[in-house]
Amino acid sequence: MRGTGKDNERIASEADRLLSDPAFQRAYDMIREGYVKALEEAKSDGSPEFEDYVIDIARSLRNLNALRRTLSLTVQRQQFTMAALVTEAVEGSVNATRN
């Protein structure tokens, strides 16, 4: 993710808020369950159309999972950045005190 530190912080904050939102969780779970149910109930007729249908559902499920993973990684990346900044500030203070 490119942008200023403030942009990244804002985006991570929004991603965290979204991941914590019960409505998002319910919607995510309902959509995921719908895809899984469609795959479980699919009756193969051996046609190319059926294979395309299954591939389309599998791709949709993969994209849904990638969305959640991307949101989580965005939050984690910002947390690591903030932790690194705090560590850098503390080490700078300690070094300044020693000198």
Distance from C-alpha of 9 to C-alpha of 47, rounded to nearest angstrom: 49
Helix axes 22-41, 48-98, angle to 10 degrees: 150
The answer to whether residue 98 scores a pLDDT higher than 50 is yes
In the chain, the DSSP E strands lie at none
* pLDDT tens by residue, 10-38: 888 999 999 999 999 999 999 999 999 99
Helix axes 48-98, 5-20, angle to 10 degrees: 120
* pTM value surpassing 0.75: no
* pLDDT score of 39: 93
* pLDDT tens by residue, 74-96: 999 888 887 777 787 777 666 66
Distance from C-alpha of 98 to C-alpha of 84, rounded to nearest angstrom: 21
